[in-house]
Homo-oligomer: A and B are copies of this chain.
């Protein structure tokens, strides 16, 4: 079963929300946890417990585990095993991007079965060109894994790169979307090469334009909640392509921690809002 098919099934079953495992120093302090590898593990396990059977996926900000070196990464390995045990789809938000054997090395680290840090999908950054990501896309395809390539990100500074145009007048984000669609052609129910498109991008998808309706792959949409977008923005920004959208929330629901039951309530409310905004007709 491909990642695209797995994710489509999980979104149908649990709704189109992913929750962040983002143990920033500030969030650890808010939870009353120490800024240590042990704190990371406790945090990650609590988010998994609160998310189980309520969301399609969890997305991990690996930066916060890298802060603690090998001990942080060991905690992450335990969190990933716990998430797998709870049947959650795991997305590593690593935003890796490189060339040749180095690009393959990153894909090997996160998408190879039985790798210590194996997940179901990872995010990739295409500053070196979409085609530089090919070794990772090939490894993902080989193992039924997925990727989400940054296209149009949720932060305002992203436009300086992502809205720039090539000699034919095509925007960078549009080139990325076209290349991803090419990889997804013919896949059913959808392909495994996703994009990251912020729910905060306003009219940019239509204005540039970025041809998302041809993607035939998942769209990971951060920006809802603490970054300012609401369910209305989700529905508006992704009008016509809402069925492929996985809405992502971190801070807004994590602030409901550290108590698992209270956080589960916040997650279920967010999942309901995402379901209504993106699949309200069902």
Contact = CB atoms under 8 A, between A and B. Distances in A.
A66 interface: yes
A77 interface: yes
A31 interface: no
A258 interface: no
A175 to B, nearest CB: 6
Contacts of A129: 155-162
Most buried by B among A25, A66, A110, A162: A66
B109 A63 contact: yes
Contacts of A30: none
Contacts of A95: 96-98, 125, 127
Interface string A96-115: 11111111011011100001
Stoichiometry, as copies per complex, reads 2
- Looking at chain A's contact residues, the main secondary structure is helix
A181 interface: no
A105 to B, nearest CB: 4
Contacts of A110: 66
Contacts of A115: 67, 69
A84 interface: no
Contacts of A108: 25, 67
Interface string A162-189: 1111100001100100000000000000
Contact of A67 (B100, B109, B125): B109
Question: What are the 9 tightest A-B residue pairs by CB atom distance, in nearest-first order?
Answer: A69-B116, A129-B157, A63-B105, A164-B164, A70-B74, A66-B109, A131-B157, A70-B73, A127-B127
